[in-house]
Structure 1
Amino acid sequence: MTSRILLVSPAMSVSLRQARFDDGGSLDDGGAALARSAAGSLPPGARVLLSPGARCRETARALGLDAEPAADLAGLDVGRWRGRGLDEVGAAEPEAVGRWLADPACAPHGGESVLDLCARIGRWLDGTRSAEGRTLAVVEPEVVRAAVVGALGLSAALFWRLDVPPLTVTELSGRAGRWNLRLGRPLGAPGAD
């Protein structure tokens, strides 16, 4: 049996455009319009899930998906940095940001470490191995990164070297204890099925 998971990154939001840690804000107008234009471009899923954040909910709605929030698929908890700009945090706490970007076990913001996120998403991936049919999930970019790290058995130190553009699909297909990967197809482009 082959497991198939399509991970859809959310459309552009104001926070993302301003390089701020997610603050629960909405999609920007352009991101919402792009998501609406991609409605109908995804194959049906036996399960349709989403990260519980606003931009994932709004992206799923714009894509015409009836998705269930899944706490296991929540984005990285950045604690007290939530809503702050990366430049702002970098200026106020340069050593903490440097440690955080270099050491996946570090969580100077008081939230979740990258290593913890990768472990959480790895457990979720393991739980989907026996699932029948396709799983479709609209998830934060860091969840996609963590899934790729887990699926390929990469070091969590590579987490920040994986770019996940808005409104792209990353496909994982698994069988016989391993995952294969198809990266970053823009929504609406052929080849999702």
Structure 2
Amino acid sequence: MRCSGECSTRPSECQGRAHVNARITLVSHSSTSATAAAAFPAGEPLDVRGRSWAVAARGLLPRADHIGSGPAPACGQTCDALGLVAEVDPTLADWDLGRWRGRTLDEMAAGEPDAVQAWLADPTAAPHGGEPLVALLARVEAWLTTVPVGHTIAVTGPALVRAAVVVTLGAPPGAFWRIDVPPLTTTDLRGGPPRWTIRATGVALAGPRRPAEGVDGLDEAH
């Protein structure tokens, strides 16, 4: 970044500082059958409710310079309903929960109580055979360093939005379980790599969200 000479910061202190002309709008995809069942996501498409919400929100997002989407069907269908032409980004793929995908937390807690307890207590644990929490956080942190100048919209799963909040705050991994991201809500980050700030999170795009409408298997893990 070229120094304009209009600030009070000495040039030697400017080196390595964050760009301040970048913005990310993270959009959690709209509702699916997993949302309604409080199950871990398994690539489900939008349900009727989710399509209705997304169609109602068409045109409400601000203009963007870059639009990315996770590869999950719900992400692509959310983009279509919102009128977004997005490039699929594998980095925005939903959290891989291995053989627990499509199951509810209650089911897993009843069948594998020790495994579930280890997963909730240890961010390096992956008893489901998928991606541990620390790997998810590292993936999202790496993605945040690649976001270009301008406004980027990224449509992805709620777990990635939660991870972005944790990483941006520099919070411990356990903070992930204390963040709620309902479907079809936005989280706004400003600044740029390596320093982002959170302007807002969990903002509904269309209509009010009752608490029960924002629950999935991950939210149940609180």
TM bucket normalised to smaller: over 0.9
Deviation at 1:178, TM superposition (A): 2.1
Partner of residue 204, structure 2: 186
Q: What TM-score do the two structures reach when normalised by structure 2?
A: 0.81
CA deviation string 1:61-86 (max 9, x = no partner): 11111111111111110011111222
CA deviation string 1:127-163 (max 9, x = no partner): 11xx121000111000001111111111111111110
Partner of residue 173, structure 1: 190
1:65 counterpart = 2:98: no
Gaps of 5+ in 1: none
Gaps of 5+ in 2: 1-19, 208-222
Q: What TM-score do the two structures reach when normalised by structure 1?
A: 0.92
Partner of residue 165, structure 2: 148
Which amino acid in 2 is paired with 1:113?
P
SS of alignment partner, residue 43 of structure 2:
coil
Partner of residue 12, structure 2: none
**Bigger radius of gyration:** 2
RMSD after superposition: 1.4
- Cα 1:103/1:41, change in 2 over 3 Å: same
- Cα 1:175/1:69, change in 2 over 3 Å: closer
Kindly report which structure 2 residues correspond to 1:54-133, keeping only aligned pairs within 5 A, or say none. Answer: 54-128=73-147, 131-133=148-150
Aligned length: 187
Partner of residue 44, structure 1: 63
1:7 counterpart = 2:22: no
Identity percentage of aligned residues: 47
Contact 1:42 1:188 in 2 (8 A): no
Contact 1:145 1:159 in 2 (8 A): yes
Runs of 4+, deviation exceeding 6 Å: none
